[in-house]
Amino acid sequence: MTARIAVLAPQVADQIAAGEVVERPASVVKELVENALDAGARTIRVEIEDGGKSLIRVSDDGAGMSRADAELALSRHATSKIREAADLIGVGTFGFRGEALPAIASVSRFELETSPDGASGTRLRAAGGRREPVEDAVRQHGTTVTVRALFFNTPARRKFLRAQATETRAVVEALTVLALTRPDVAFALTSDERALLDLPPAVRPSDRVHALWGAGLADSLLPVAHREGPLEVRGFAQRPAQARAAGRKGYVFVRGRPIRDPFILRAAEAGYRSTLAPGDRPSLVLFLDLPGDAVDVNVHPAKLEVRFRDKFFVEKVVEEAVRRALGPLAAAAPLGVGGQVSGVGGAWTGVGSMMPAGTPQELFPESLTPDTRPLTPLLQVFDTYLLFQTDSGVAIVDQHSAHERVLYEAVMHQLSGDGAPAQRLLLPLTLEFAPPELEAIEAHRELLRRVGYEIEPFSGRTVVVHTAPNPHPRFDAARCLQELVADLAGGRFRGGANRLERFAATFACRAAIKAGQRLEPEEARQLVARLLTATLPAHDVHGRPTIVQLPKDELERRFGRS
């Protein structure tokens, strides 16, 4: 009987391995650049032609390899990163499977030049996995890998490559991700002799962010730094006001390794609750550091996924890290500071106040500490904005957005407790509603009671309102109820875990002081004081800023004093 099971030929096995590791030119760039970083490179140059389909060349100034090591590096499962199975726990390097070089060489015209000391160099060539004789080479210490005609011997796979522009974008993204992991390393990318990336070594991670995406995005980012137990989360989170429905950037790194994990990004977005406009998604760059035995990095052929020992703990800490980054008044948007990375200045740890909110002092980072005179001088302009002096400049508060934030947090407390103190009306309100609105009132009667509305049916389409909330002297109880009920009837709060949050946000928006309403000086002082004790004072419930800062040094620059 003819045997039905056979051991694959090495060339076939290599091409199967290549299918796991090498999907497209960007995969080759990723693997080769990771090897360069593991070799201690301080400068990495990448060249591509035709989106990487014709040529990929990665040069580094890392440790380089001896001739014996270079020859061995083209063998499957040959690696300098691990020696035994136990080494897989907490592996701290990028490449450790020993698959990349032989897999790439099996589907390309491959050349490797390397020297460990700038004197004794080695050149290896292979075509479709078939090696040519080893040669001497002259080069400085480091390694250069050249990959030509990717998938030339597997035409079916080559047909699946995209257009040149698409493959080029994928290469840029792969290098961008790795450049974020190592801001101390210089990276350069040229495509068909045109420079696409030129990133010098950065002193601070914020400088690398600025070099990659410019001041527009960099100025909108806030530093994240939070530790709970064995897990540290650091990086950047975008201010809610700058978040958009499209074009967001979301990057997650675990122990310095880039991964794909939508659940981590979803947990980070949960930290934005009650600060984002519907549909908006913030940009996030998050680095998670935890003990090696708490995460398994050996679960994906291309090392793009990991498995956490306690997934829910990790997600909870990530959410809290982002929430805390948005909390201090340092998260308020800067005003008039063009061309500076004011949002992400400083090192990873420079996040201002990381204390839990609870007292005004805790919510005042040093850069926004008011004068010893409490909140003075305070000025209302255009019957909409409140100005007060800080040690480092001028703070400008939007009175509607500020009151909206204050009311939202008060209402959330009321909805989870016994409700708000209500004012019994001397003359009850008689209001008429459409049938769907009457159904909404009946379905949400308890929520309406907790915010202060006691309502009973009267006749037909008419109800009687006996009590109403009184959040400020200019409050229009009838108008607020009508708008709130219209939202309820429109299904805005139907189902969902955050139903109460959506209810509270809409009530706060309808009930808050409006733009154009004149405030007495004491009212303005009380509003600002209440804002400064809020959990997220810098952002209203729609993602707009409640407060912006005009730094003193910007004023001095504008008036020629600096």
What does the radius of gyration of the chain's CA atoms come to, in whole angstroms? 30
Residues 6 or more apart in contact with residue 119 via CB below 8 angstroms: none
Question: Which two tokens mark 36?
Answer: 């360069």
Q: Which two tokens stand for residue 245?
A: 């429905």
Give the ranges where 444-498 is alpha helix by DSSP (H): 445-450, 477-489
- The amino acid sitting at 283 is S
Token pair belonging to 450: 């907790």
Give the residue ranges of DSSP H helices in 22-82: 25-38, 67-73
Distances (CA, A) of 344 to 273, 281, 352, 371, 497: 22, 19, 11, 25, 33
- SS3 assignment, position 118: coil
Q: What's the pLDDT score for residue 99?
A: 73
In the prediction, which pLDDT does 166 show? 97
Give helix 435-443 / helix 477-489 axis angle, nearest 10°.
90
- For residue 305, the Cα-to-chain-centroid distance in whole angstroms is 17
Distance between CA atoms of 73 and 55, rounded to whole angstroms? 21
Phi/psi of residue 304, nearest 5 degrees: -95, -5
Specify whether the CB–CB gap between 260 and 304 falls below 8 A. yes
Domain parsing of the chain, residue ranges: 10-199, 205-334, 421-468+475-511
The SS3 of residue 200 is coil
The answer to whether the beta carbons of residues 141 and 64 sit under 8 Å apart is: yes
CATH C-level class of 421-468+475-511: alpha beta
- Report residue 479 as tokens: 């108008």
Strands 130-131 and 121-127: antiparallel
pLDDT of residue 553: 87
SS3 409: helix
- Quote the pLDDT of residue 114: 95
Cα separation, 500 vs 451, whole angstroms: 12
Token pair for residue 158? 């080559």
Question: What top-level class would CATH report for the domain 205-334?
Answer: alpha beta
Asked if 554 contacts 340 with a C-beta cutoff of 8 angstroms, the reply is no
The ranges of the chain with pLDDT < 70 are 1-3, 5-20, 77-98, 297-304, 336-377, 492-497
Task: Please state, in angstroms and as integers, the Cα–Cα distance from residue 63 to each residue in 34, 102, 138, following that order.
Answer: 13, 20, 15
Contact 310, 297 (CB under 8 A): no
β-bridge mates for residue 224, sequence order: 235
- Round to whole Å and give the CA distance between 240 and 405: 14
CB 83 within 8 A of CB 93: no
Backbone angles phi, psi at 396, to 5 degrees: -125, 120
Phi, then psi, of 425 in degrees rounded to 5: -80, 130
Give the separation between CA 345 and CA 495, rounded to whole angstroms. Answer: 41
Write the pLDDT tens digit of every residue in 185-224: 999 999 999 999 999 999 889 999 999 999 889 989 999 9
User: What pLDDT is recorded for position 97?
Assistant: 45
Query: 534 near 360, Cβ under 8 Å?
Result: no
**Distance, CA of 292 to chain centre:** 23
β-partners of residue 380 are: 386
pLDDT tens-digit profile of 443-497?
A: 889 999 999 999 999 988 999 999 999 888 889 999 999 999 998 888 765 544 4
Separation CA 122–CA 114 (nearest Å): 5
CB atoms within 10 A of CB 228: 14
> How far, CA to CA in Å, does 529 sit from each of 361, 522, 523, 525, 532?
11, 10, 10, 6, 5
Identify the bridge partners of residue 455 per DSSP, sorted by sequence position.
465
Residue 317 half-sphere exposure toward CB, CA atoms < 13 A: 21
- Selecting from 3.30.565.10, 1.10.3210.10, 1.10.1740.10, 3.40.50.720, what CATH number does the domain 10-199 have? 3.30.565.10
Q: How far apart are CA 335 and CA 330, in angstroms?
A: 13
289 bridge partner residues: 232
Tokens 């080759």 correspond to 28
Q: Are 401 and 540 in contact (CB under 8 A)?
A: yes
- Tokens standing for 352? 């201002």
In a 3-state reduction of DSSP, which class is residue 235? strand
Contacts of 292 (CB under 8 A, 6+ apart): 89, 90, 91, 92, 255
> Which contiguous run of DSSP H or E holds residue 194?
strand 194-199
Give me the amino acid identity at 166.
T
Other CB atoms within a 10 A radius of the CB of residue 316 amount to 15
Q: Please give the model's pTM, rounded to 2 decimal places.
A: 0.80
pLDDT in the model for residue 17: 54
Q: Indicate the SS3 state at residue 443.
A: helix
| Residue 481: closest CA among 535, 437, 514, 522 | 437
CA distance 351 to 347: 8
